[in-house]
Amino acid sequence: MSTATEAESGALPGLAPASKGDHAWIVAKHFALFFFLVLLWELGARAGWIDPLMFPAPWGIVKQIGFIYFIQGNVWHHLYITFAEALSGLFVGSLIGIGLATAAALSLRFREYIKPYIIVIEATPRIAVGPIFIAWLGFGFSSKVALAALVCFFGPFVNTLTGLLNIDAEAEELFRSMRATKWQTFWGLRVPNSATILMAGMKLGCASAFGGALVAEFISANEGMGVLMSRYTYVLNMNGAFATLLSITLFAFLLFKFADAVDYYIVFWRSDKLMQRKSKKRQAAFLKSLG
């Protein structure tokens, strides 16, 4: 397994942060472009250049979004189901991934023995196990959680292991020269060191857990966003399918932002502001303990 890298947020590199005044202007230009494109699409649909059965007009999609969210209101239930499946899957998958990674980091022998299996598991398209899981666990909730867990465990696993193993050589030497025990090195050095990259792995896992839950729903289910999407497509209600797809994007994005926020507070030493606040608090606590 050589180095495979992946962008975790999709934020493009090489974008200089703009100043506050510039920022509003840039956002305005973005919106202008966006509305221009949407307008073009709408006009194209009205003029009959675009087949509405294939690419529905934006206004139709907006109406459909209003319908499924507020008038019929059926989307909430499906959203809840898919979220529950994906998040439970993420929970189970990252527990397994982090557990395996911790064991592998602590024992060289274990690491050596699981390596070939990990390579095979990585090479297998794990989502393909979907039908087997459905045969094993039935058509309900558990088969979706299982597939989400299987698909997502790899990100947290590899990242935790990388974080636990690739520690700063000088810090390690410091721990050694202070005669730190193995556990002190583990908790005091390895675990904090892995926090950053572990969170990145969780974010990757989050995205793939969603994919796993959706695919399991596609294969067979009676509720969830995947089912909603297939149903709309099969009756060629393209407005509905696009509205569902946009909902998936929106809520996946919100989840991503939430993960970013959690990341920000857990890995506090990456942000100067948080770092200083935390340091001050610790200092105060320390002074208090001195009396």
Partner 1 sequence: MTDATIGAGGIEARTELAETGWKRLAMHILVFVIIVGVWELAGVFNQLNDLLLPAPSVIIGKFAEMWLPTFLGGTGRIYYHFFITLWEAVAGFFIGVSIGVSLAVTAAVSPMFRRYLAPYAVAFNVTPGIAVAPLIIAWFGFGLSSKIALATLVCFFAPFINTLTGLLHVDEEASELFRSMRANRQQYFWKLQLPSSMPLFIAGLKLALTGALLGAIVAEFFSASAGVGILMQRFSFKLDIGSALATLLSMSLMGLLFFTVMEILDYRVIFWKRDSRMQAVSKKRKAAWKM
Which 79-118 residues touch partner 1, going by CB under 8 A?
Answer: 101, 104, 108-109, 111-113, 115-116, 118
Say if CB 155 and CB 7 are below 8 A apart.
no
Residues 215-244 that bind partner 1 (CB under 8 A): 215, 218-219, 225-226, 229-230, 232-234, 236, 238, 241-242
Q: Residue 70, interface with partner 1 (CB under 8 A)?
A: no
Give the residue with the Cβ less far from partner 1, 49 or 288.
49
Exactly one of 98, 164, 189, 221 binds partner 1 (CB under 8 A); that residue is: 164
Q: What's the alpha-carbon Rg for the chain, to the nearest Å?
A: 24
Say if CB 56 and CB 242 are below 8 A apart.
yes
* CA dist., res. 137 & res. 102, Å (int): 29
Residues 182-211 that bind partner 1 (CB under 8 A): 197, 200-201, 204, 207-208, 210-211
Phi first, then psi, for residue 97 (nearest 5°) are -60, -50
Residue 66 tokens, joined: 């209003």
Give the residue with the Cβ less far from partner 1, 135 or 284.
135
* CA dist., res. 178 & res. 175, Å (int): 5
Per rule CB under 8 A, count of chain residues that contact partner 1: 82
Q: Residue 249, interface with partner 1 (CB under 8 A)?
A: yes
181: three-class secondary structure by DSSP: coil
Exactly one of 28, 33, 174, 178 binds partner 1 (CB under 8 A); that residue is: 33
Say if CB 37 and CB 235 are below 8 A apart.
no
Closest contact distance (angstroms) between CB of 214 and partner 1 is 5
